[in-house]
């Protein structure tokens, strides 16, 4: 059976238009925790509402549509990238809808749910050694692209400026408008994390333009592999993503996998079914909030909890 994608048809273009139109404009929810100081409000963007189930639909849609318009995928060249899995799902989903062949380099410990969905959309998967982490997958994608430039175009989400721009225009712009509608002002604190750095850089730049003194907090996993999707920023040998604007970060809060998982379960008890990076962000947001008497803290719930059943995140009966 051939794995190459069939040529685009009218129906496929129709599905693509619908999917692209369904990305973004996610709800902003207010979170309630007993330890939150009375004068502090905590809001979160529900990114699981994107059609690919995570925040990565936004940058991937931006990067892929820009690449198509620039003719980078002409002549049946395959779109190639490395991913912790969520961007892989977005690439696979949009590649299937747009008729673009996709190859993804993903660490072999990505959750079974992620790998199943990438395969379901028909993308080619190259699994790398889990112990080597995200940086090794990135190096492998670079190596493949350098060896076969006729076959692959490396989208490179870690170095592609259209990644952070999607968050500057979309995620960040929406946060400003939604927080303003609820509180009458821009937020005082942003809590995010770093996979590619796209979210932190794009949203951080947008919020800092609106309020110069906004505090930007990065939640950093204490160990690797620790929290799916997040890099141990600053650890020895860790590659700092080219698009990450480190100058935006005012403060780093280390988070354990256990604290992230426990917070996911607390969020599930409030009706919010999200993955460990979201748990880590909310845990860090609660630490920062505890030091304030008043203010508005905003964070992002990056993906759906349905991606983590196989990882033991949720209590079994
Ligand atoms: N959370 C999850 C679950 C992710 O998959 C990612 C992306 N790897 C992030 C957070 C971080 O997003 P970004 O790439 O924008 O830094």
Q: Is 56 a catalytic residue?
A: yes
277 part of the active site = yes
Under 8 Å between Cβ of 43 and 182 = yes
Say yes or no: CB of residue 201 within 6 Å of ligand 1: no
- For the purposes of burial, counting CB atoms within 10 Å of the CB of 71, is it exposed (0-12), middle (13-18) or buried (19 or more)? exposed
Q: Is the Cβ atom of 86 under 6 angstroms away from ligand 1?
A: yes
List the residue whose alpha carbon is closest to atom 10 of ligand 1. 229
Dist. CA 189 → ligand 1 center (Å): 19
Which one from 56, 84, 278, 302 is the annotated catalytic residue? 56
Taking the whole predicted model, whether its pTM rises above 0.90 is answered as: yes
Supply the pLDDT for residue 182: 98
User: From ligand 1's centre to the CA of 163, what distance in Å?
Assistant: 11
For residues 81 and 124, the answer to whether their CB atoms sit within 8 Å is no
Tell me the CA–centroid distance for residue 85 and ligand 1, in Å. Answer: 9
For residue 277, the ligand 1 atom closest to its alpha carbon is 1
Would you say the CB of residue 277 lies under 6 angstroms from ligand 1? yes
195 lines ligand 1 (CB under 6 A): yes
Cα distance between residue 108 and residue 134, in whole Å:
10
Q: Mind listing the pLDDT tens digit of every residue in the chain (317 residues)? A: 445 555 555 555 678 999 999 999 999 999 999 999 999 999 999 999 999 999 999 999 999 999 999 999 999 999 999 999 999 999 999 999 999 999 999 999 999 999 999 999 999 999 999 988 899 999 999 999 999 999 999 999 999 999 999 999 999 999 999 999 999 999 999 999 999 999 999 999 999 999 999 999 999 999 867 899 999 888 888 899 999 999 999 999 999 999 999 999 999 999 999 999 999 999 999 999 999 999 999 999 999 999 999 999 998 87
Q: Is the CB of 163 under 6 A from ligand 1?
A: no
pLDDT of residue 268: 98
Ligand 1 centre distance from Cα of residue 230 (Å): 6
> Between helices 276-290 and 257-268, what is the axis angle to 10°?
90
On the CB side of 33, CA atoms within 13 Å amount to 21
How far apart (Å, rounded) are the C-alpha atoms in residues 223 and 233?
Answer: 10
Instruction: Determine the pLDDT at residue 3.
Output: 52
Q: Which of 54, 83, 111, 277 is catalytic?
A: 277
Q: How far does the centroid of ligand 1 lie from the alpha carbon of residue 86, in Å?
A: 8
- Please name which of 70, 61, 130 lies closest in space to residue 89, comparing C-alpha atoms: 61
Any ligand 1 atom below 6 A from CB of 278: no
Nearest CA to ligand 1 atom 8: 229
pLDDT value of residue 11: 54
Give me the residues paired with residue 162 across strands. Answer: none
Indicate if ligand 1 lies below 6 Å from the C-beta of 178.
Answer: no
> What is the per-residue pLDDT for 4?
57
Residue 194 Cβ contacting ligand 1 at under 6 Å: yes
For ligand 1, the distance from its centroid to the CA atom of residue 162, given in whole angstroms, is 15
ipTM of the complex: 0.99
* Closest of 281, 201, 209 to residue 242, by C-alpha: 201
Q: CATH number for the 21-54+164-301 domain, one of 3.40.50.1110, 3.40.50.1100, 3.40.1360.10, 3.30.530.20?
A: 3.40.50.1100
Q: Which CATH architecture has domain 78-149?
A: 3-Layer(aba) Sandwich (3.40)
Whole-number Å distance between alpha carbons of 291 and 297: 12
Task: For the chain, give every residue range classified as CATH 3.40.50.1100.
Answer: 21-54+164-301, 78-149
Contact 278, 261 (CB under 8 A): no
CA-proximal residue: ligand 1, atom 3 (nearest): 229
Closest CA to 196 of 311, 20, 59, 11: 59
């Amino acid at each position: 059976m051939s794995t190459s994608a069939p040529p685009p048809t009218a129906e496929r273009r129709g599905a693509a238009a619908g999917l692209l139109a369904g990305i973004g404009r996610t709800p902003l929810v207010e979170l309630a925790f007993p330890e939150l100081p009375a004068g502090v409000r905590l809001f979160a963007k529900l990114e699981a509402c994107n059609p690919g189930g995570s925040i990565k639909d936004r940058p991937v849609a931006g990067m892929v549509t820009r690449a198509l318009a620039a003719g980078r995928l002409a002549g049946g060249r395959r779109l190639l990238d490395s991913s912790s899995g969520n961007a892989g799902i977005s690439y696979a989903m949009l590649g299937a809808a747009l008729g673009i062949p996709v190859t993804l380099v993903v660490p072999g410990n990505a959750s079974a749910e992620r790998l199943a969905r990438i395969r379901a959309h028909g993308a080619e998967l190259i699994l790398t050694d889990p112990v080597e982490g995200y940086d090794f997958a990135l190096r492998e994608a670079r190596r493949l692209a350098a060896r076969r430039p006729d076959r692959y175009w490396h989208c490179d989400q870690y170095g592609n400026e259209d990644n952070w721009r999607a968050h500057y225009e979309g995620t960040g712009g929406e946060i400003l408008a939604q927080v303003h509608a609820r509180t009458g002002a821009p937020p005082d604190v942003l809590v995010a994390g770093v996979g590619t750095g796209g979210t932190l850089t794009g949203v951080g730049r947008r919020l800092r333009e609106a309020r110069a003194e906004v505090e930007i907090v990065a939640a950093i996993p204490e160990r690797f592999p620790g929290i799916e999707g997040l890099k141990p920023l600053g650890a020895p040998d860790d590659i700092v993503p080219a698009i990450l604007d480190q100058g935006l970060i005012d403060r780093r809060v280390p988070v354990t996998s256990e604290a992230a998982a426990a917070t996911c379960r607390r969020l599930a008890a409030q009706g919010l079914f999200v993955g460990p990076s979201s748990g880590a962000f909310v845990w860090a947001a609660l630490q920062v909030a505890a030091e304030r008497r008043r203010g508005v803290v905003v964070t992002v719930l990056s993906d759906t909890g349905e991606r983590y059943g196989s990882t033991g995140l949720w209590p079994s009966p």
